[in-house]
Structure 1
Amino acid sequence: MRRMLGAAGLGLGLLAATAAAQDMMRDVDLSSPDMVSAEMTRAEVEAALAAARPAGAADFSGKRLSGLDLSGLDLSGAIFRGARLNKTRLAGARLDRAVLDQAWLLEADLTGASLKGANLFAAQMRRARLDRADLSQARIAADLTGASLVGASIAGANLGADMRNQSMGLMRTVLKSARLERLNARGADLSRVDLEFASLKGADLSNASLKGAELGGADLTGVTLVGTDFDGADLASVRLSAPIGLDQARNFDKAKNRDRLIRE
């Protein structure tokens, strides 16, 4: 029993730390060496990757890798839990199934990167560039405020809120003021996601779940909404112009503030 209680206490502590991670910005000096420097070179990262294969995945947990150029590297399955990758260049890199939980990727460049099936739980990714990136089937609960995912794919990805242990705080994806033009979100779980003031022009939300999502001020011009679930979504001041398949959307009558939609 003592062992079980100890494990439970540790689990609660970890959950509390994870919940707090989404609001860590106020307490962190983003200009400190810990946040802007690198303790490894690209060559050393490549050596670590080579040493880990084929037996297992390279582990960069907690490493300072900010500002490095790691573009084009195959980092599939690598573990970056709690790592610092601020302003790191990862354009065209392969991060399939990588673990980026609680990692810092502020203003990181992941243009055209592949993150299929990756885990990004409590990751800090404000103003990150993920244009044309592939995050299909990924698990994401990250702060992507001001990020750019133009032409990216989150098809089948789970960005929905973690509804367990609500006393620890709501863990969800934040895409406030993000650029999501032409986003492929087919079948994605976007329940309770913060999409306020995001631009979703031309995005494909077919069969996606927007249950309880906050869409205030978002631009949904030309979006595809076939099978999209709007149950409980907040549509205050949402620009809904020339949508495709709105008549085939689900639970649109259950969305909030439909009377405040901006139709053009």
Structure 2
Amino acid sequence: MLEQIISQSKITRDSLPLTRRDVIDALIKSSYTAELRFQGVNLSGSDLSRLDLRFINFKYANLQGCKLTGANLSWCCLERADLSHAILDNAQLLGVKSVCANLEGATMKNCNFKDPAGSRANMEGVNLKGANLEGSDMGSVNLRVATLKNANLKNCDLRAAVLAGADLESCDLSGSDLHEANLRGANLKDAAFELMLTPLHMSQTL
């Protein structure tokens, strides 16, 4: 009877999230120009800090609670991926595609989204509710219809960012640069705009 109970409750390797070692092994075995496919993969809670993860397809992947401090996620596909409560402080996110991704409660201090070559990070419809993006360079980022309720966007560079239709309720934008940012149709209820680097024009919001 005991053996039967043990066999039924046994956790298979397939149900466990990939570890840092698994990801490093995959990176070592592939060319830096190859697009690794981690679509739908479970990486929840893994420590992927400081790794070069450029161009990887993480669509629908579970990255919940992942440690990605200082990681390079530039040009990754994070579409509909779950990065809720992940730690992405100082991460590189140039040209990242994270349409409808879940980044609720994520810590993203001092992240860099701005590609000098001009490619825009596409974060349309992303969930950044309660996320901390303080000090991030988000120039030209597409955050159309994104949820940024209660998010911390203090001292962010949001020049020419697209925030049209975004939910910015109770969002802290103190000290941020919103020059030429598109805020048309955005919900700005109780949003904080103290110490703005450039004045906010009505034409940006209407």
What TM-score, normalized by structure 1, do the two folds share?
Answer: 0.66
Q: Is 1:85 the equivalent of 2:38?
A: yes
Q: Is 1:112 the equivalent of 2:65?
A: yes
Residues 11-61 of structure 1: per-residue CA shift (max 9 Å, x gap): xxxxxxxxxxxxxxxxxxxxxxxxxxxxxx989985785xx7xxxx96143
Residues 113-132 of structure 1: per-residue CA shift (max 9 Å, x gap): 01111111211110011000
In the TM superposition, what is the alpha-carbon distance from 1:99 to its structure 2 partner? 1.2
Give me the CA root mean square deviation.
Answer: 2.6
Residue in 2 aligned with 1:59? 28
Cα separation, 2, equivalents of 1:184 and 1:225:
11
Identity of aligned residues (%): 28
Residue in 2 aligned with 1:121? 74
Residue in 1 aligned with 2:179? 231
In the TM superposition, what is the alpha-carbon distance from 1:107 to its structure 2 partner? 0.5
What TM-score, normalized by structure 2, do the two folds share?
Answer: 0.83
Q: Helix, strand or coil: the match of 1:248?
A: coil
Distance 1:85 1:212, change over 3 A: same
- Matched AA of 2:102: S
Residue in 1 aligned with 2:164? 216
In the TM superposition, what is the alpha-carbon distance from 1:172 to its structure 2 partner? 2.2
Residue in 2 aligned with 1:204? 152
Q: Helix, strand or coil: the match of 2:93?
A: strand
- Matched AA of 1:197: V
In structure 1, stretches of 5+ residues that fail to align are 1-40, 63-78, 165-169
Residue in 2 aligned with 1:250? 197
Cα separation, 1, equivalents of 2:18 and 2:140:
41
Q: Is the 8 A contact 1:81 1:99 kept in 2?
A: no
Please state which structure has a larger fraction of its residues in strand.
1
Please state which structure has a larger fraction of its residues in helix.
1
1:1-264 to structure 2, matched below 5 A, reads 46=21, 59-61=28-30, 82-141=35-94, 142-160=96-114, 162-164=115-117, 170-244=118-192, 246-253=193-200, 256-258=203-205, 260=206
In structure 2, stretches of 5+ residues that fail to align are 1-15
Q: Is the 8 A contact 1:135 1:157 kept in 2?
A: yes
**Structure 1 stretches of 4+ moved >3 Å:** 41-49
Aligned residues: 190
